[in-house]
Amino acid sequence: MSGRLVKAIGYKGNPMNLPVADVGAAVPFYEAVLGFRVAHQEDTPLRAATLARDDVQMRVVENGGDPTQDGCAFHVTGLDALQAAFRAAGLSSLSGVDVEQRADGPWNVFYVVAPDGLCYWFGERQG
């Protein structure tokens, strides 16, 4: 079974406005390691790239924000397969799988910190 991203929720409420210092430097990581593809790019009013994978989209943008203070939560299916695929693609900056208790029950989760500083939560609800 392969992992699938089914929902994206921005930590600051907006997965379409994630700050990076350099879009051109950031995008290759998302394509080669996390399996996204560029759905749209723009240079004005700000340099940005909309990235798509499975059922989600997110946008990285040179907006002057601090990437170490932002990121996205992804609801997924096939969490273990997703983590294995990331490792096979050479990702070393991901956490082990833990259980987090949320309002809707327990979730198996792991975290990834991208080279641009953004942090991503990948979670699959148990049961």
Assign residue 100 the CATH number of its domain.
3.10.180.10
Q: What is the pLDDT of residue 92?
A: 85
Asked if pLDDT for residue 73 goes beyond 60, the answer is yes
Per-residue pLDDT averaged across 39-51, rounded? 96
Interacting residues of 27 by C-beta distance below 8 A, sequence separation 6+: 38, 49, 51, 60
Query: Token pair for residue 116?
Result: 């641009």
What long-range pairs does 109-113 form, CB within 8 A, spacing at least 24?
109/79, 110/79, 110/83, 112/34, 112/86
Query: Is 9 in contact with 17 (CB distance < 8 Å)?
Result: no
Residue 73's domain comprises: 4-125
Q: Which pTM value belongs to this model?
A: 0.94
Q: How many domains does the chain have?
A: 1
**In which band, very low, low, confident or very high, does the pLDDT at 93 lie, cut at 50, 70 and 90?**
confident
Peptide bond into 15 cis (omega under 30): no
